[in-house]
Amino acid sequence: MRDTGRVRTVRAITDGGSDSAPFMVRDTLATVLRHDGHAFAIAHNHPSGDPTPSTNDRNATARLRNAANAAGLTFLCHLILGSGDTWAIA
């Protein structure tokens, strides 16, 4: 029986600089699968404080969603955190 609706683990996939972070779809899916995940979300912050998704954010979301579907995983969302309590979904 699947344990649904519960966060099983939180893992850092990459560290970024002040203006970008390397993002590998393969590394993300490998981490989900290594922890026997079935559904997952990703999150990162924008040091500028503006959580508006960039073109790179939207492209990464699309690549990750397509790869997750191909692997039989459920991609829940890509959350971007800004300053204070601001956030957006890419």
Q: Render pLDDT for 36-52 as a digit per residue (tens, 0 to 9).
A: 999 999 999 998 999 99
The residue range of the domain holding 73 is: 40-48+62-90
**pLDDT of 90 strictly over 70:** yes
H/E run at residue 62: helix 55-71
**pLDDT of 8 strictly over 90:** no
Assigned domain for 18 exists = no
Assigned domain for 44 exists = yes
Assigned domain for 66 exists = yes
pTM: 0.83
CA distance 88 to 68: 21
Assigned domain for 7 exists = no
pLDDT in tens, 30-89: 999 999 999 999 999 998 999 999 999 999 999 999 999 999 999 999 999 999 999 999
Name the domain count of the chain: 1
- Tokens 């924008």 — which residue? 46
Category of 5 on φ-ψ map: left (φ > 0), alpha (ψ -120 to 50) or beta: left
Assigned domain for 79 exists = yes
